[in-house]
Amino acid sequence: MSLALLAAIAGSSLATPTFAQHADHAAAKIDPALAAAVADPLRKEDAVRDVYRKPDQTLAFFDVGPAMKVGEYAPGGGWYSRLLGIYLAPKGKLVGLFADASAANAQRQAATQAAVAKFPAEVAGWSNQPAEKFSALTLGAIPDSEKGTFDRILVMRALHNMLRSNVADSEIRKMRELLKPGGMIGIEQHRAKADAPFAYTDGSKGYLREADIIKFMEIHGFTFVGKSEANANPKDPANWPGGVWTLPPSLDGAKDDAEKAKLQAIGESDRMTLLFAKRP
Give yes or no for residue 154 having a pLDDT over 80.
yes
Q: Give yes or no for residue 12 having a pLDDT over 60.
A: no
Whether the predicted pLDDT of 24 surpasses 60: no
User: 49 lies in which domain range?
Assistant: 3-278
Question: What was the pLDDT predicted at 28?
Answer: 78
Query: What CA–CA distance (Å, rounded) separates 115 from 75?
Result: 10
Average pLDDT, the chain: 91
pLDDT tens digits, one per residue of 157-211:
999 999 999 999 999 999 999 999 999 999 999 999 999 999 999 999 999 999 9
Per-residue pLDDT at 6: 52
What percent of the chain has pLDDT above 70? 90
pLDDT at 34 over 90: yes
What is the average pLDDT across 28-47? 95
DSSP, residue by residue, the chain: --HHHHHHHHTSGGGS---TTSPB-TTPPPPHHHHHHHT-GGGTTGGGGHHHH-HHHHHHHTT--TT-EEEEES-TT-HHHHHHHHHHTTTSEEEEEE---TTS-HHHHHHHHHHHHHHHHHHHHHHTS-GGGEEEEETTS--GGGTT-EEEEEEES-HHHHHHTT-HHHHHHHHHHHEEEEEEEEEEEEB--TT--GGGSSSTTS-B-HHHHHHHHHHTTEEEEEEE-TT--TT--S--TT-GGGSTTT-TT--SHHHHHHHHHH-SPPEEEEEEEE--
- Specify the pLDDT at position 104: 83
Residue 118 has pLDDT above 60, yes or no: yes
Q: Could you give the number of structural domains in the chain? A: 1
Q: Flag the least confident range among 82-86, 154-158, 254-258.
A: 254-258
Instruction: Say what the pLDDT of residue 253 is.
Output: 81
ω into residue 66 within 30 of 0, thus cis? no
Q: Is the pLDDT of residue 23 over 80?
A: no
Rounded to 10 degrees, the C-alpha dihedral 153/159/162/164 comes to -170
Contact 229, 208 (CB under 8 A): no
pLDDT at 11: 47
To the question of pTM greater than 0.75 for the whole model, the response is yes
Burial state string for 36-73 with b = 16 or more CB within 10 A and e = fewer than 16: ebbebebbeebbeeeebbbbbbbbbbbbbbbebbbbbb
pLDDT, position 16: 34
pLDDT digits (tens, 9 = 90+) for 237-274: 999 999 999 999 999 989 999 999 999 999 999 999 99
Determine the pLDDT at residue 17: 36
- Reported as a pLDDT band with limits 50, 70 and 90, residue 86 is very high
CATH of the domain at 129: 3.40.50.150
